[in-house]
A and B are shown apart, each in its own frame.
Chain A
Amino acid sequence: MSGPVEQHGKRRTWVRTGLAASAVVFVLGLVAGMATLILRHIDDLSVASSDNMQWSLAQADVEFLRFRLSLADARAEPDAAQLSQLRQRFDIFYSRMATLEEADTFHTLREDASFAAPVDRVQGFLQATVPLIDGSDAALAAALPELDERAAAAGENVRRFSLAALSALAAQTETRRIELLTALVLMAAILAVLFAGLLLLAGSLSRLARLAQERAHEVQEGAARLQTVADTSLDAIFVTDSEGRVRQINRAAQTTLGLRPADAMGASIVDLLFPETLRDPLRNGALRFLGTGTRPGPEERQFETMAQDIAGRAFPVEISFDRGISGGKPVFVVFLRDISRRKAAEDGLTEARDRALAGERAKAEFLAVMSHEMRTPLNGLLGTMQLLRDHALTERQSELLDRMSSSGRLLLGLVNDVLDLAKFEAGKMEVETRPFSLARLLDGVVQTTAPLAAAQGNSVEWRWVGPEQPGAVGDMRRLRQMLLNLVGNSVKFTRDGSVEIEVERLRGDEDLVEFRVIDTGIGIAEEDLDRIFQDFVTLDSSYARTAGGTGLGLGIARRLAALMDGEMGAESTPGEGSLFWLRVPLAPLREAPEPQTARTASFGDEAYHDAAVRTASRRRPLRLLLVEDNEINRFVAREMLEAEGHTVVEAANGRAGVERAEAEAFDAILMDISMPVMDGPEAARRIRAGQGASADAPIIAVTAHALPEEIESFRAAGMERAISKPVDRADLIGALDSVTGGADEAEAGYAGFEAAPQRAPLVDERQLQSLAESLAPETRARLMDRFLTETEGTVAALAARAPGAPEIAPIAHKIAGSCGTFGMVALADALRRIETRVKRGERLDADELRALPDLWAESRAALLAWHAAA
């Protein structure tokens, strides 16, 4: 702030100060001058330097006249008395003249000839007369006439010097008078100036006083306004000193808390406002500033807590406080707002929201259950139709069967869509993060959609835009679903055209991959572009019917994209074609992973289906136990298996299954999950736990529950694989192949379920609990220490091996056992997978080995954390 205005103001201040200083100096000079003048006069007047000169002069005249009277008396009667009288008169006059001669007062006069000359002549007369006066009476008497004559002559001189002295004195007096007058005039002038100064001073003082009064008034008004504000406030307001003792409260404080000002004053605000249990935490926490006098930071000035009123009722409040300065000392201003109502409203809202959400979930669950239940009879239908093909059919019958089969799969697709949607709504969708090859994925997509495209006269192909980078980490299965949906859509709405898939890693954000599906189809009007992503929207119902679809596909695809933190959109020109784009974050992987699976198609996938069926004939006949409560399902599965040449033994529930498994040795067991009497996982556990003939037989879970966490529990129960209901022939055969080692397929484990490994529990707490109960703490601690030390080294060693090394299997097996003992289920599973694959002679993924140390570190931390907590 150093603008011209301020400069100007500064200059004015300086000028003013200079003027005032000059005025002060001037006045001081005046006063000093006046003082000097007055002091000189005081000095002059403090002592009288002379007697009354006029009196002295007049007295000389008088004494001379008396002398002459006495002389005249003596001449008339010259006796001794008269002569003595004459002598005395002469002496007195003599002394008078002596005074005129000697006194200081007459010094200046004596220098004046008109005074000095007559005086000298009178002196001459006196000196001449002294011998006569001092002589005898006779001589004096004789000389009286002559003396009289001389005295008469002297008398003239007496008169003359008296008059001369008087005129000189008159002049002197006048000079003095003028001097005095001048001094007085000067003094009056100075006084006038001083008085004017005083008037100015008084004026300026009165201005200052008026200003001060106005200020005081303003301050008072301000204070009154502030008081009104404080009293009008609905919030309770407290002012405390730096120690937190209440100094002032407003009206709301009295009504809100029931405080009386007299009780509140001086009390600690913490004791006054807060319930006893909160006081110390507040003093050490949010209100620690009281007492230190430091100012709370901006984010520390507001918080919510509980307060209590004078009656002890506790209620939620919002506190806002800050430090101020009053009278040079820190004070705290505390606002307290009763937020009971807000809290109640919030709680009500939360509850309403929770209820609504619960309702939504319930609906979604209902939908999920319904679609699941619909799949069971569909299973029966489709399975039976597949079985029907084994019989000799006429061409017409075969054609009808194709139609039925096609409709059934369409229906299954619809049900699956609805189920997906329902899962979304139920919040049961999880994203996986796995390495995979984009190239292979897109090859699969093209391959899968090729037959339908060919039927419409379309070509389908994909290509890279920009540098190729096939390795990626993400949810391959969902991505595939989305791409299939988009490509499927394009193929459906294009006739004799092309569908092209472009893949590009977006620059700037290396994680983001964009897929563009470009067709030369009928296109979409601009106003419909947003609608197509809504649920149950089909733009052209007749066309859609021929193309097939619920109108859910794009809605689900967009949800999936959002689930993967991606987006999806479309651009189109009607009549020329459409472009659907999908942007999802996929972390790049330097090398494309080895194929984990040769088939990634879902149920109803024609290509996969055919491939699986083609390989089926090469299997050896197996002896199988089928545990399934639903008779139709049982029938379908049995028929499918027997068609493959297998022998099937049935059990209607879990318990029956366990009994059969104990009694007989089976090559594999197919286990339904939801069953009366005993469910699948429990039965699997018992079979594994028992010493029955089939205790080690592979168990395949057959389930409609396809949620990752459930898959984990199936694994934990000892089931190697799971297949989805409704049972698909190819799926069933593939699963059997994988568990009995007869397959040439690389796929193992939970095909179609792809459990999310990062979601699996690291440690099995039940296992840990049972371990803790069966071992003494010292023993357990010792064992655990040994386990941790040994395993650490072994895991590191394992991770360092080349994927093809033959010793991997025994090492993995050994650690897997001890990991299982100490409840590290995730690690044990990973190790077992590795062991199985090595034993089967499959190629291991190097990443699988490299992932072990991390998994170990996490498991170890989880184990230690559990122990610390236990």
Chain B
Amino acid sequence: MHNWVAAAVAVAFTVSAVAAEGLSEPSGDVLLTIRGDIAETNGDGVARFDRPMLEAMPSITFSTSTIWTEGTQEFTGVPLSAILDSVGAAGDTALATAINDYAVQIPRDDWGDAAPIVAYEMNGAPMSVRDKGPLWIVYPYDSDATYRSEVIYARSIWQLDRIVIDE
């Protein structure tokens, strides 16, 4: 598992370097909007991502159970760090907010290379809002007990649609 994590990280760095050259314009529905202290934008002071943009970014796939679902699920998504890097997030805190306005702060310390990811697929299919989609910040809860804490559960925000980078 570490091998693929390492490989994925290597890929992530390469790609983020490419992505840093500038953000493309979203062509479809905007799934995620990032604002605040960011360097890269593709709108009015905001960075917007549609599904193809996210899918174009290096992805990580892992299987884990969650306390909200029954059985083991396979999640695929982009590391949160990769997304924040791609927009040149300079702040220390990311305030992630869901469609229903549930919000949680994720400090820079938690922007790991491998976790969390912003998952856009569960069990190989896009997630609908009813399935806590379309974007869900998830951690590989089964891989480490530190991921099975209240704070991590609180940060595991589903139906994510916007992030504000704060100072």
Q: Which residues of A contact B (CB under 8 A)?
A: 46-52, 59, 63, 66, 88, 91-92, 94-95, 98-99, 102-105
B67: A residues at CB distance < 8 A = 49-51, 103-105
Contact of B129 among A50, A92, A104 (CB under 8 A): A92
Contact A94 B130 (CB under 8 A): yes
* CB atoms of B100 and A47 under 8 A apart: no
Question: What chain A residues lie within 8 Å of B153 (beta carbons)?
Answer: 48, 51
User: How far apart are the CA atoms of A366 and B20 in the complex, in Å?
Assistant: 149
Given contacts A47-B148, A48-B153, A51-B153, contact A99 B128 (CB under 8 A): no
Shortest beta-carbon distance, B74 to chain A, in Å?
Answer: 16
Measured as residues with beta carbon below 8 angstroms from the partner, the interface class of chain B is 20 to 34
Residues of chain B in range 66-83 having any CB-CB distance to chain A below 8 Å: 67-70
Give the residue among A48, A51, A102 with the most B Cβ atoms within 10 A: A48
Q: Which of B114-134 contact A (CB under 8 A)?
A: 128-132
**Chain B nearest CB, measured from A71 CB (Å):** 16
Q: How far is the CA of A63 from the CA of B129 in the complex (A)?
A: 13
8 A Cβ contacts from B132-167 to A = 132, 145, 148-150, 153-154, 158-159
Interface status of B7 (Cβ within 8 A of chain A): no
Q: Which residues of B contact A47 (CB under 8 A)?
A: 145, 148-149
The answer to whether A102 touches B68 (Cβ under 8 A) is yes
Q: Which of B130, B131, B154, B158 has the most CB of A within 10 A?
A: B130
Q: Which residue of B lies closest to A102 (CB)?
A: B70
7 A-B pairs with CB atoms under 8 Å apart are A50-B67, A52-B150, A91-B130, A92-B129, A92-B159, A95-B131, A98-B131
Interface residues, chain B, with chain A CB atoms under 8 Å away: 67-70, 99-100, 102, 128-132, 145, 148-150, 153-154, 158-159
How far apart sit A46 and B147, CA to CA, in the bound complex (Å)? 11
Task: State whether B159 touches A51 (Cβ < 8 A).
Answer: no
Name the residue on A nearest B98 (C-beta). A92
Closest to B101 in A: A66
Q: Which residues of the other chain, B, contact A105 by a CB distance below 8 angstroms?
A: 67
Instruction: Choose from A48, A52, A92, A99 the contact partner of B100 (Cβ within 8 Å).
Output: A92
User: How many angstroms from the CA of A98 to the CA of B132 in the assembled complex?
Assistant: 9
Residues in A with CB closer than 8 Å to B149 are 47-48
Given contacts A94-B129, A102-B70, A104-B67, 16 further A-B pairs with CB under 8 A are: A47-B148, A48-B149, A49-B67, A50-B67, A52-B150, A52-B154, A63-B100, A66-B100, A95-B158, A95-B159, A98-B130, A102-B69, A103-B68, A103-B70, A104-B70, A105-B67
Are A91 and B68 closer than 8 Å at their CB atoms?
no
Q: In terms of DSSP, what is the predominant structure of the interface of chain A?
A: helix
Give min CB distance, A446 to chain B, whole Å.
137
Closest to B131 in A: A95
Q: How far is the CA of A105 from the CA of B145 in the complex (A)?
A: 18
B128 touches A91 (CB 8 A): yes
Closest chain-B Cβ to A613's Cβ sits at a distance in Å of: 151
Find chain A residues with CB under 8 A from B154 CB.
Answer: 51-52
Assess whether B69 is in contact with A92, with CB atoms less than 8 Å apart. no
B residues less than 8 Å from A50 (CB atoms) = 67
In the complex, chain A residues whose CB is within 8 Å of the CB of B128: 91
**Knowing A95-B158, A103-B69 touch, does A48 contact B99 (C-beta < 8 A)?**
no
Contacts A49-B67, A63-B100, A66-B100 given; does A95 touch B132 at CB 8 Å: yes
Distance (Å) between the CB of A86 and the closest chain B CB?
A: 13
Contact B145 A95 (CB under 8 A): no
Task: Give the docked Cα–Cα distance between A66 and B68 (Å).
Answer: 22
Residue of A nearest to B127 (CB): A95
Give every chain A residue within 8 A of B70 (Cβ-Cβ).
102-104
6 interchain residue pairs of minimum CB distance:
A91-B129, A47-B148, A102-B70, A94-B130, A48-B150, A51-B153
Q: Which residues of A lie under 8 Å from residue B145 when comparing CB positions? A: 46-47
Q: A48 near B148 (CB under 8 angstroms)?
A: yes
CA distance A95 to B149 in the complex (A): 22
Q: Which residues of B contact A59 (CB under 8 A)?
A: 102
User: Which residues from chain B contact A48 at a C-beta distance below 8 Å?
Assistant: 148-150, 153
* B128 to chain A: closest residue by CB: A91
